[in-house]
Amino acid sequence: MADAKTIIAGMLKEDTGKHFLDSGFDNGRQWQRNQRREFEKEPESVFEVDVIRGYVTIQKSTYHFLNTFFEATAESEKLTQEMLAFADLPENADMAWMEVMTEFFEQRLLPRIEDEGLETYNVSTKGDVTNTYNYESSIDQVLQFIMFPWSGDAGRFGGNHTGIPYIILQIHGGADVRGGYTAPHIFALKAREHDIDEFVLADGDYYVSVGDEQWYTDDNGSHWYFEGSTHRSMKGEDFGFYIRDFLGIPEDTVESSMKFPGDLNGTSIDKPMAGRVQKKQMPWDVYLRGRWLDTIFFDNDFDEARVKKSLVDHDNFDSAIVVVRGR
């Protein structure tokens, strides 16, 4: 049986299709950009500060985020195979994956949940679908899922609940968020019952240590609180300028941004260990056979040949592209 890391990495690279009307053009869809990524070697999060505008951005690795909370068990894999068999039934041949998820839950899972009176902490039994695109999210890819209580080793979670949390999960791998989702897969929550709160809250929670001070956000960086206190707080752009001043970067800098790797909980910023300030970047327009594909920014010292080589070798662009310095 494959483990969750293998399954999730496969989902992140799954071909979720192309459409000539979507904005992915030839190689811009997320599943295409993921083909050469080595997720296990990447940081769990990246905290970026725009030192000119003050903006801060938190990006958490979908791969590390999901593997922190979920595992593949014999029961979850059995349910996944039952769901895929359900999708293959002749009467379900025209169903999209989203409909497969909801119908499989209603027809096959809900009756057992109701018969056995299964319940678990903070998980609905109604089969509600959540899409992370619909709220502020720091996860670097969109998730779509149904959570439900299921029978299993409820004793490890404590309390009086009769089930443990399971998830039917899709990952968005396309260009436009309306389509391009993976085939669904079912996982079980690992660790403790109340970790379901951590799964929900960890999306927006993040700590940044600036020297000896610790700052915290619970809304994906829009507001920051000193050591969790509301008595000393600032908005996201002010926090970016605060970090810039802490690092001694002049206000008239021409540099663009700084990136700090971290774990899913947060990162640390110290003057001797500060992240590399990126050079000022310039736009390059990308064309293929006369059709504009995208505008991409590179450091100012990149020339045309180096830009094209980077796009072809690292971002899977067609070797026939033409790059032109933008304005």
Residue range 183-239, pLDDT digits in tens: 999 999 886 655 777 787 677 889 999 998 999 999 999 999 998 666 789 999 899
Mean pLDDT along residues 313-324: 83
Helix (H) and strand (E) counts in the chain: 9, 16
- 8-state DSSP, 279: P
The whole-angstrom separation of Cα 296 and Cα 19 is: 22
Structure-block tokens of residue 57: 């951005």
Q: Can you tell me the distance from the alpha carbon of 140 to that of 74, in angstroms, rounded to the nearest whole number?
A: 29
**Helix, strand, coil percentages, rounded to 5, for the chain:** 30, 30, 40
The stretch 141-145 carries a mean pLDDT of 94
DSSP 34-74: TTT--GGGS-SEEEEEETTT--EEEEE-HHHHHHHHEE--H
Asked if 271 and 62 count as a contact pair (C-beta separation under 8 A), the reply is no
pLDDT of residue 193: 54
Average pLDDT of the chain, as a whole number: 85
- What is the average pLDDT across 151-168? 70
The answer to whether residues 48 and 212 touch, using CB atoms and an 8 Å cutoff, is no
d(CA 217, CA 230): 11
Rounding to the nearest 10 degrees, give the CA dihedral for residues 224, 230, 233, 236.
30
For the stretch 171-197, what's the b/e string if a residue is b when 16 or more beta carbons lie within 10 angstroms of its beta carbon?
A: bbbbbeeeebbbbbbbbbbbeebebbe
253-280 residue pLDDT tens: 766 788 999 999 999 998 754 555 555 6
Whether the pLDDT of residue 313 is over 90: the answer is no
3-state SS, 303-327, equals CHHHHHHHHHHHHCCCCCCEEEECC
Residue 20 pLDDT more than 90? no
Structure tokens at 323: 């790059």
Residue 171 contacts residue 182 (beta carbons within 8 Å): yes
pTM: 0.78
Q: Answer yes or no: is pLDDT of 181 > 80.
A: yes
Residue 17 has pLDDT above 90, yes or no: no
Q: What is the pLDDT of residue 30?
A: 87
**How is residue 260 written in tokens?**
């700090």
pLDDT of residue 209: 95
Task: Quickly list H helices, the chain.
Answer: 4-12, 30-33, 62-69, 74-88, 97-104, 110-116, 195-201, 236-246, 304-315
pLDDT in tens, 93-110: 999 999 999 999 999 999
Question: CB 33: neighbour CB atoms within 10 A?
Answer: 16
pLDDT at res. 2: 86
Strand order in the sheet with 223-226: 229-235, 223-226, 213-217, 206-210, 266-269
pLDDT of 23 > 50? The answer is: no
Tell me the mean pLDDT in the region 72-95: 96
Report d(CA 146, CA 131) in Å as an integer: 9
pLDDT surpasses 90 at 284: no
**What's the one-letter identity of residue 268?**
S
pLDDT tens column, 227-254: 866 678 999 989 999 999 898 888 777 6
User: Higher model confidence: residue 312 or residue 159?
Assistant: 312
Share of the chain above pLDDT 90, in %: 48
Span 309-326, average pLDDT = 83
